[in-house]
Chain A
């Protein structure tokens, strides 16, 4: 049943098929990482978690390499124009304000927050960012919204029983995504192992609670 739940999650996910059409080898690596992470969760093994980390590194490298306009200092033309306008607005109040509250590091900090919070948006994964689709970014539903209850339940289980696995599979990719951004044709796929495993754990436990097994 454990294996079945992870397989159902992976096969039914549109994200997997998007990855397959993008690069089948990448899909293979991501799926392998997912299954290793899943094994680490069900066996509560930190050794297996270390193997997962070995898989995670190349995934993060590909994530970075395939992301357009990566980096916190990147500014589009619109960003530049807004940045300049705001500097003028601040300087009109006090010249030093423009220097302190409208400077590049402050912009980079905002961008970091933006990337981080957008990567943690559940609507991005289960509803293709609907109803707040972003302009200029290809949005698609990574998992069916029917998996959302499984995800929430699985997350609560992971927080309680597998904090190391949760921390590694969620926070490391999140940190990278917060720096490089999300302008990627297949989205933040380095989080696919985390989402798939969480859904699978939730699915398994809910089915077990309902005494179906």
Chain B
């Protein structure tokens, strides 16, 4: 397939559309930074200013985010972005946006080189569909590692494919695949699976002649790249996601049948059932084309990861891929499709699109194969129909993502913390207590929006975390800096100090407000007009007077109040 000026303009047009879709309103849609984005942004800021993360650890191999650990690549890539755009939504999300745009080029080149699509126009259509697919748009606009990890994965897969013809690229591709393990947990577990799969399926190519030397060189390079990861293998940071494994569910399930089924049959049966049910969800029509990701901050209202109409080319593409599985390019595609959801299928979360994002590559190619087959029917209306479907898809994407999502998913995207920070700036001289009973990441949300100096946060952390950084997963979500305390509200003490108490709808009941003589200072509402946070000023004098009148204890309370102030 030759590359001419026409192709160039088509791809440029798709890139412009992609750039628009991923950049447009990036600082307002999604409405705020989610719990996954905030730590990436703030830690990049911390690395930029101090060379250390929020806990004071210098350039870690794996970032500790609350009680979890995250691969480091996204944070390090975000450091220059934060230095250019500052600590804000654009700075935090820009790496994903750029990864999304670059991935369009990678998909285009891979589709062309795979020689799987006969029609040139369908190759462009496939790239266009990738660009506008809800899966791509969602993660290209989210400030965490998903799209960056996908870019590394797809680039390495493409380079390995080139290596099937020019063996030097095998070495480069395998090393790049190994680097991708630092971009996401899913890639970390996918790496050995893919390498074993490549050896098993393509042993006749990879383990013969000069290919063998380049492939082994790639494996050695990949091993060297993995040394920092391997140094963490015995720490909790490496297997921090092990709690997501469905082990416990299996054991509970087995208790129900243990009297009738022996353990050596029951346990393997239940494991196989659980794994396969999870695995097939990633290929199910309902999951891929209808129901959104169950995790609210990763789903678009009324849309799944692909458009509903795509199930027709998907089924056709699946059938053709299976039929032509003897051909090397289809075999390669099948290997990618079969291995991609395995790490995600080992977890108990159903259809977790973030962990299964490598699947996007093989599925978009399978869908394109299906469209290519339909195009062979030589339907007169094929091109107008495609145009119509693409326009329809863009309309429902725009409706779901730019209209419904900011309103309906506001709370999932942690709406309100930015507003709290703004209110705090308004009442600078006041002392604040922010209730964190239902969100252990409240401290970093406020640190982000208040642009808190990272050294202040690092000094507020206990020294025991720095000493055993990769093993210590205990969380202390309570912080205190300047005029701000982040902790649960202690009603027996806090109402006797002059301060502003901040919490969500569950923090303050009407009875508490009346009984403790609280005065509302501000109220933060989400776009659907639901109250998300409220700030109340305490009134110790009035409260004491009230108690004194009611119980005759005014003097005692006043005394205790003065002692509390000390």
Bound Cα distance A166, B338 (Å): 26
Contact A121 B302, beta carbon cutoff 8 Å = no
Tell me if A90 is interfacial: C-beta within 8 Å of chain B.
yes
* Contact residues in A for B273 (Cβ distance below 8 Å): 127, 145
Check B403–A145 contact: CB distance below 8 A: no
Closest chain B residue, CB of each to CB of A86: B404
Kindly identify, within residues 524 to 541 of chain B, every residue whose CB is under 8 Å from any CB belonging to chain A: 528
Q: Count the B residues whose beta carbon is within 8 Å of the partner chain — how many?
A: 30
Identify whether the interface residues of A are mostly helix, strand, loop, or mixed: helix
List the A side residues contacting B319 at CB < 8 Å.
Answer: 156, 159
**With A145-B273, A148-B276 in contact, do A120 and B403 touch (Cβ < 8 Å)?**
no
Over the window 385-415 of chain B, the binary record of Cβ atoms lying under 8 Å from chain A Cβ atoms (1 yes, 0 no) is 0000000000100010001100110000000
Q: Are A117 and B285 in contact (CB under 8 A)?
A: yes
Q: How many A-B residue pairs have CB under 8 A?
A: 70
Interface residues in A, total, Cβ within 8 A: 26
Taken together as a complex, chains A and B put the C-alpha atoms of A145 and B408 apart, in Å, by 37
A132→B286 contact, CB < 8 A: yes
- B285 touches which of A90, A93, A121, A148 (Cβ 8 Å): A121
Q: Is B281 an interface residue (CB 8 A)?
A: yes
Using known A-B contacts A85-B528, A145-B277, A148-B276, determine if residue A132 contacts B285 with beta carbons closer than 8 Å.
Answer: no
Nearest CB in chain A to that of B287: its residue: A132
Chain B residues, CB < 8 A from A101: 395, 399
Interface of chain B: mostly helix, strand, loop or mixed: helix
A1 CB to closest chain B CB (Å) equals 25
B84-103 interface with A by 8 A CB criterion: none
Binds A, one of B44-52, B289-297, B373-381: B289-297
Q: Provide the B267-295 mask, 1 if CB < 8 A to any CB of A, else 0.
A: 00000110011101100111101110010
Whether B481 sits at the interface, judged by CB under 8 Å, is no
Residues of B within 8 A of A86 (CB): 404
A118 touches B290 (CB 8 A): yes
Question: Which positions in B face A, CB cutoff 8 Å?
Answer: 272-273, 276-278, 280-281, 284-287, 289-291, 294, 302, 308, 311, 319, 322, 348, 350-351, 395, 399, 403-404, 407-408, 528
Query: Shortest 7 CB-CB distances between A and B: which pairs?
Result: A131-B350, A127-B277, A121-B286, A117-B290, A113-B308, A130-B277, A117-B285
Could you give 8 example pairs across A and B, Cβ below 8 Å? A89-B407, A90-B403, A117-B290, A117-B308, A118-B290, A123-B277, A126-B280, A127-B276
Interface set of A (CB-CB < 8 Å, partner B)? 85-86, 89-90, 93, 97, 101, 110, 113-114, 117-118, 120-124, 126-127, 130-132, 145, 148, 156, 159
Beyond A93-B403, A131-B277, A148-B280, list 14 extra A-B contacts (CB 8 Å). Answer: A101-B399, A110-B302, A113-B290, A113-B308, A117-B286, A120-B285, A127-B273, A127-B276, A127-B280, A130-B277, A131-B278, A132-B281, A132-B291, A145-B273
